[in-house]
Amino acid sequence: MDGKRIGYFIKEKRIELGFTVEQFAAEVGVTRFLAEDWENGTIPETQHLLPIANVLKCEVEDLLKGSEPPTPPQPQEKAEEQEERQLSEVLPQQKDPQKEEKSYYEELNEKIKDLPTTTQASGENGFSAADRKFGYILLAIFVAILLVLFVATWGAYLTRERNLTVENYREYLTIKVLSTRNVNPDTYEVRVTAKNRKIYDLDMEVGVTFRLYGTSLDGNGVVHTVTFDDADLVEGETVSKVIHLSIMGFECGYEVINISGGLD
């Protein structure tokens, strides 16, 4: 809130309505000196705002907003402006009905509308030079990684193991010995499953050790040998052989005695 702006607004409106300072002060209900103080830049008290607005026939909002006091005129324009001002004080002001109706926000909106706007397109669809540069680098890295992987994969394929031996069979085969009966087990199954490679012409001899019921614990147990001949297995495929014991017994481990076969 600017006291000078408010003061100028009060003075302007008072002259516009044809009031003297005394008349204006009397209408508002204050002394002439207080009215002069307001015109000279003192901000009116809150209780006086509504009476002033009523007398000046304006909104309190407009009163508080005030109006711009004129800048001191340049020497060459001084006489001309003084004349104009005198004329304006004497002659009744022509009121612009449109201007009076407009609120502060409407005026603000009009100002925003008048701001310069960008109408030219700031870009266009398509790949930019930076896109292409980044893309080519990315694609080069991608192809390089693919090549490395390709070489590594083919290198591993060409140098792969091709025969099963007693030393390497664990990598390619899973052997399990399971009883087919949970109570009084006397029948066992030996299952051989190919893990991750195709195996052909598998010949294998597996010795399974059992401790038979009634034999002493410090003995060596009984060894049953199972033989697989010319078995062909794909990944995940299983072949099995069954062992029948004469009496109930417990499996104590197995050993691959002999193995041969081709790896795909």
Partner 1 sequence: MDDKKRNKIFLLFLILAEGLGIVCNIFNEAYIFIPLSLAASCMGIVIIYFAYGLAKGHNRTHAFWHERDNNGGEPSDWSISRYKIRGWALYIMALLMAFVPNFNII
The answer to whether residues 195 and 185 touch, using CB atoms and an 8 Å cutoff, is no
137 binds partner 1, rule: CB under 8 A: no
Binding piece for partner 1, criterion CB under 8 A, among 91-99, 124-132, 158-166, 207-215: 124-132
Q: Report the site for partner 1 in 92-121 (rule: CB under 8 A).
A: 112, 115-121
Strand partners, 176: 191
Pick the binder of partner 1 from 72, 97, 123, 214 (CB under 8 A).
123
Cβ-based nearer residue to partner 1, 80 or 235: 235
Cβ-based nearer residue to partner 1, 126 or 219: 126
Strand partners, 260: 203
219 binds partner 1, rule: CB under 8 A: no
Nearest Cα neighbor of 180 from 170, 172, 188 is 188
Cβ-based nearer residue to partner 1, 147 or 247: 147
Q: Report the site for partner 1 in 150-189 (rule: CB under 8 A).
A: 153
The answer to whether residues 177 and 208 touch, using CB atoms and an 8 Å cutoff, is yes
Pick the binder of partner 1 from 103, 104, 110, 127 (CB under 8 A).
127
Residue type, position 18, single letter: G
Q: At a CB cut-off of 8 Å and minimum separation 6, what does 190 contact? A: 175, 176, 177, 206, 208, 226, 240, 241, 242, 243, 254
Q: How far is the CB of 109 from partner 1 (least distance, A)?
A: 11
Nearest-angstrom CA–CA distance, 203 and 258: 8
Size of the site for partner 1 (CB under 8 A): 28
Neighbour-count burial of 172, counting CB atoms closer than 10 A to its CB (0-12 exposed, 13-18 middle, 19+ buried):
buried
Q: Which residues bind partner 1 (CB under 8 A)?
A: 112, 115-128, 131-132, 134-136, 138-139, 142-143, 145-146, 149, 153
